[in-house]
Amino acid sequence: MHKDIILVGKQGSGKGTQAKILAKKLGFKIFETGAALREIAQQDTDLGREVLDITSRGDLVSNDIVMKIVENFLKTLDNNTPVIFDGIPRSEVQRETLEALLAKNSRDFVVIEIKLSNEEALNRLLIRAKCNDCGANFGSPEDLCPVCGSENISRRKDDNPDAIMNRLKNFDEYTYPLLEEWEKAGKLISVDGEQSVEEVSEEIFSKLKEVQ
């Protein structure tokens, strides 16, 4: 069986797309924190009501609650189903508790970092758009949807240079220290995120084979 994957990459690295490709080709289940929280918040349980309460106030959900959600998620899987963690961990405390939880469940993991320079991330995010007709997300300076050809597209509102630079700064500040720890522990696989989607996948597949 495959080890779990902690997938790390800046916005614009194509991390979500690569997670979907891995899920489809190798049978990984994706744990995406934001989606998991939205799903839990709709459930009529103590945890669901608590999460709804916190998120509707606009507050951040505590690490304890995130870990409870991860634990519940792991319980829904059999032990042979590998998981991709997308968007977690975001802090040193979260890294330690997630690793402890995985160890407790007899699961092992590798970290895949999709590397991208801040300059390239900025370029990609500034041209990111969504088609209002077919829903496709794409990065393109063109004003036509590459999927359906519609001209009815919109640019994301939060993709202005200042907001993007701020998120990239947060990545450097909070995520880089985690990557250094994983590198020391021999857990880190880096792939070049400035290649095409297909080339990034190929690099991930071949490097994963070496560590499974």
Smallest distance, Å, CB 154 to Zn ion?
Answer: 11
Q: What minimum distance in Å lies between the beta carbon of 86 and Zn ion?
A: 25
Q: Which is nearer to Zn ion, 102 or 129 (CB)?
A: 129
The torsion defined by the Cα of 164, 57, 32 and 88, in degrees rounded to 10, comes to: 70
We find the least distance from the C-beta atom of residue 127 to Zn ion, in angstroms, to be 16
Name the minimum Å distance from CB 210 to Zn ion: 38
Question: 116 or 145: whose CB is closer to Zn ion?
Answer: 145
Give me the least distance between CB of 137 and Zn ion, in Å please.
10
Nearest residue (CB) to Zn ion, 1 versus 148: 148
Which residues of the shown chain bind Zn ion in the complex (CB under 5 A)?
131, 133-134, 136, 145, 147-148, 150
- Cβ burial, residue 18 (10 Å; 0-12/13-18/19+): buried
Q: What is the largest CA-CA distance in the chain?
A: 51
Nearest CB to Zn ion, comparing residues 52 and 127: 127
Residue number, 111 or 145, with CB nearest to Zn ion: 145
